[in-house]
């Protein structure tokens, strides 16, 4: 099955950032497809899928079997499924998932096969640059419908230059659509779209769903603010710390951002935050 998004510019998966209220705003602003943050198939957390996202899974070898039940439960509510093979965090190292699962090609093949058996929706993977990337792509050719590449290594984390040439070279090994991730923004997306089938935007969208309107609806859009986020978030019972986290993000890049952050830092509860969001324009 083919991926059939609204346009070729997606919201990248981001833990903490991509809660449902934020994702709904990105969708409204024009993101062609949203990714959920990475989710473990044994999670006990409530999962919100009102934006019909690509639901991204992560797990290690021991939990591979829990994928089937999880996918059956949520399959009707997602646009596609993704498997995370790129997380570089310390916890990923400890529990051997994300980029640290890359050397276990047998488990990767088992998981992708299982994913394919449990859905008729597209199945995808998200990779980093590693010595296993090409081997994994060869497995993906058998089971997947698209491949996302963030061409930084595990040790680079999120800094340093992404290796765009490496990402392009993957076309030699696959005919699957390639979704590119790494430093995409409103100034360079057209350049990336000439090289790749799709792009995803990560950090430049944090606190800034408007980046999708700037790109997809240049002339005619109403600026989305933190007050819009709060309005949506009120439907979902988020903890106060999540609201405060997002408030901080929405101030980034503003002229008075620093002073707003200092004030938000002092805000003690949701009621106070709502009042603040009404007073200030951010």
Interface with ligand FMN, residue 150, by CB under 6 A? yes
Q: How far is the CB of 85 from ligand FMN (least distance, A)?
A: 8
Beta strand extents in 39-105 (DSSP E only): 54-57, 80-85
Interface with ligand FMN, residue 56, by CB under 6 A: yes
Q: Considering beta carbons, is residue 135 or 203 the nearer one to ligand FMN? A: 203
Binding track over 243-272 against ligand FMN, x by CB under 6 A: ------------------------------
Cα(50)–Cα(62) distance, integer angstroms: 30
The least distance separating ligand FMN from the CB of residue 271, rounded to whole angstroms, comes to: 28
Residue from 30, 32, 37, 207 in contact with ligand FMN (CB under 6 A): 37
Minimum distance from CB of 108 to ligand FMN (Å)?
15
Closest to ligand FMN by CB, 128 vs 280, is: 128
CA distances (Å), 146 to each of 47, 81, 115, 119, 197, in order? 24, 10, 13, 15, 10
Q: Which two tokens stand for residue 140?
A: 């993906």
Region near ligand FMN per CB under 6 A, out of 12-20, 135-143, 212-220, 232-240: 12-20
> Dihedral (C-alpha) 148, 153, 158, 164: value to the nearest 10 degrees?
-60
Shorter beta-carbon distance to ligand FMN: residue 246 or 280: 246
Binding to ligand FMN in span 155-214, by CB under 6 A: 158, 181-184, 201-204
Number of Cα atoms under 13 Å in the Cβ half of residue 57: 28
Candidate residues 9, 17, 57, 211; the one interacting with ligand FMN per rule CB under 6 A: 17
> Nearer to ligand FMN by C-beta: 39 or 276?
39
- Judged by CB under 6 A, does residue 129 bind ligand FMN? no
Distance separating alpha carbons of residues 240 and 237, to the nearest angstrom: 9
- Which residue from 176, 280, 198 is spatially nearest to 9, judged by alpha carbons? 198
**Should residue 59 be labelled a site residue for ligand FMN when binding is judged by CB under 6 A?**
no
Applying the rule CB under 6 A, the residues between 86 and 115 that interact with ligand FMN are: 86
Query: What's the CA gap between 153 and 146, in Å, rounded?
Result: 20
φ and ψ of 60, to 5 deg? -105, -170
242 touches ligand FMN (CB under 6 A): no
Q: What angle do CA 88, 26, 270 make, to 5 degrees?
A: 85
Q: Is 126 near ligand FMN (CB under 6 A)?
A: yes
Question: How far apart are alpha carbons 257 and 253 in whole angstroms?
Answer: 7
φ, ψ of residue 115 in degrees (nearest 5): -60, -45
Tally of residues, the chain: 282
| Number of residues near ligand FMN (by CB under 6 A) | 22
With CB under 6 A as the contact rule, the residue among 3, 8, 9, 13 that binds ligand FMN is: 13
User: What does the binding site for ligand FMN look like in residue numbers (CB under 6 A)?
Assistant: 12-17, 37-38, 56, 84, 86, 126, 150, 158, 181-184, 201-204
């Amino acid at each position: 099955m083919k991926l059939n998004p609204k346009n070729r510019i997606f919201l990248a998966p981001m833990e903490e950032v991509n809660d449902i209220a934020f994702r709904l705003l990105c969708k409204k602003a024009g993101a062609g497809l949203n990714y959920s943050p990475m989710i473990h198939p044994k999670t006990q957390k409530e999962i919100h899928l009102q934006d019909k996202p690509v639901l991204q899974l992560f797990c290690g070898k021991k939990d591979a079997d829990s994928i089937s039940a999880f996918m059956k439960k949520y399959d009707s509510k997602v646009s596609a499924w993704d498997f995370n093979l790129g997380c570089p965090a310390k916890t990923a190292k400890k529990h051997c998932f994300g980029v640290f699962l890359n050397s276990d090609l047998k488990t990767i093949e088992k998981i992708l096969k299982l994913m394919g058996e449990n859905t008729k929706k597209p199945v995808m993977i998200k990779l980093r640059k590693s010595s296993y990337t090409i081997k994994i792509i060869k497995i993906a050719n058998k089971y997947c419908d698209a491949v996302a590449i963030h061409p930084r290594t595990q040790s680079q984390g999120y800094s340093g230059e992404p290796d765009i040439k490496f990402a392009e070279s993957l076309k030699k090994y696959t005919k699957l659509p390639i979704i590119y991730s790494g430093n995409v923004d409103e100034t360079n997306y057209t350049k990336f779209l000439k090289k790749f089938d799709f792009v995803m935007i990560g950090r430049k969208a944090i606190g800034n769903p408007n980046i999708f309107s700037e790109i997809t609806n240049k002339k005619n859009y109403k600026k989305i603010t933190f007050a819009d986020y709060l309005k949506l978030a009120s439907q979902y019972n988020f903890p106060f710390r999540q609201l405060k986290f997002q408030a901080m993000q929405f101030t980034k890049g503003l002229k008075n951002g620093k002073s707003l952050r200092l004030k938000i830092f002092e805000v003690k509860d949701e009621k106070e935050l709502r009042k603040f969001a009404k007073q200030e324009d951010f």
